Amino acid sequence: MSIFVDENTKVIYQGLTGSTGRYYGLLNRDYGTQVVAGTHPKKAGTDVDGIPIFASVADAAEATGATATCIFIPAGGVQGAVLEAAEAGMELVVCITEGVPAHDEANFFNVLRRDFPGTRLLGPNCPGLISPGKANIGITAGHIAKAGGPVGIVSRSGTLTYQALYELQQKDIGVTTCVGIGGDPVPGTSFIDCLEAFEADPETKAVMMIGEIGGSAEEEAADYIKHNMSKPVSSYIAGVTAPAGKKMGHAGAIVSGGQGTAKAKMEALEDAGVRVGQNPTEAGELMAEIVAGL
């Protein structure tokens, strides 16, 4: 199986008429994803390479039966786009856009949690997710992902999401679903959300988790793994060599008061029984050992 998306998922692209949205929307469709509509309030009735454009997400959903949407619009409009999708009943909203104001993120995160509990938000500032051979929503290169399981992947870093997929492909290890949750301060979907879904998925037998410096999400995930997961986990935490006091990478990669360091995260994960690699390749090798022993 897969988590969150599969071959039956129908997806609307908010921003399909823009150059970036068009590029990835058509690329995802070519992969096999059911990209059934795009939206633009001034371009309703037109199409993008045969994909119909509707004035709103609600109109597109009514016409196509879509349950997911992918957002490729400028940062200033993301809050409105996310809430529009939720109000239209979307079960999954994947927001690729980076640079969304943290105040906006906090606001729509809390609105979704309070008023739209049936809507899952992935992102903002994430690469999306891929269930290899079934559906690819976002900007992940489909050819680096091997289908068939038994490993699930969850990652904060976009680039390391791709490397994790590639490391496993090189070892002939398939993936059920790979989820890039993004590195912003207020992610819509957390490590724990994905770990819980992978734990419940009968075809996911092990999980690879990629984290980075800043925040406490990895430590929280370690506590969840320690007390709730029966499936083995390998991990890599980026930022071991990050200079103290220097701003690094994502908006969420903030280390303060000695907390959020790579060392602290690695120690918490190791204490939870996770096999932690010193680099992405070693994390892949550890996962290969885990898979061989399943």
Alpha helices in 101-216 (DSSP H): 102-115, 158-170, 191-200
- The candidate with the shortest Cα–Cα distance to 231, out of 157, 134, 149, 158, is 149
Rg (CA), the chain: 19
Q: How far, in Å, CA of 112 to CA of 94, rounded? A: 13
Name the active-site residue from 103, 143, 227, 250: 250
- The reply to whether 250 belongs to the active site is yes
Q: Based on the number of CB atoms within 10 Å of its own CB, is 202 exposed (0-12), middle (13-18) or buried (19 or more)?
A: exposed
Phi, psi of 180 (to 5 degrees): -100, 110
In sign, the C-alpha dihedral spanning 219, 178, 159, 11 is: negative
Do residues 2 and 201 lie in contact, with contact meaning Cβ atoms separated by under 8 Å? yes
Which residues are known to be catalytic? Answer: 250
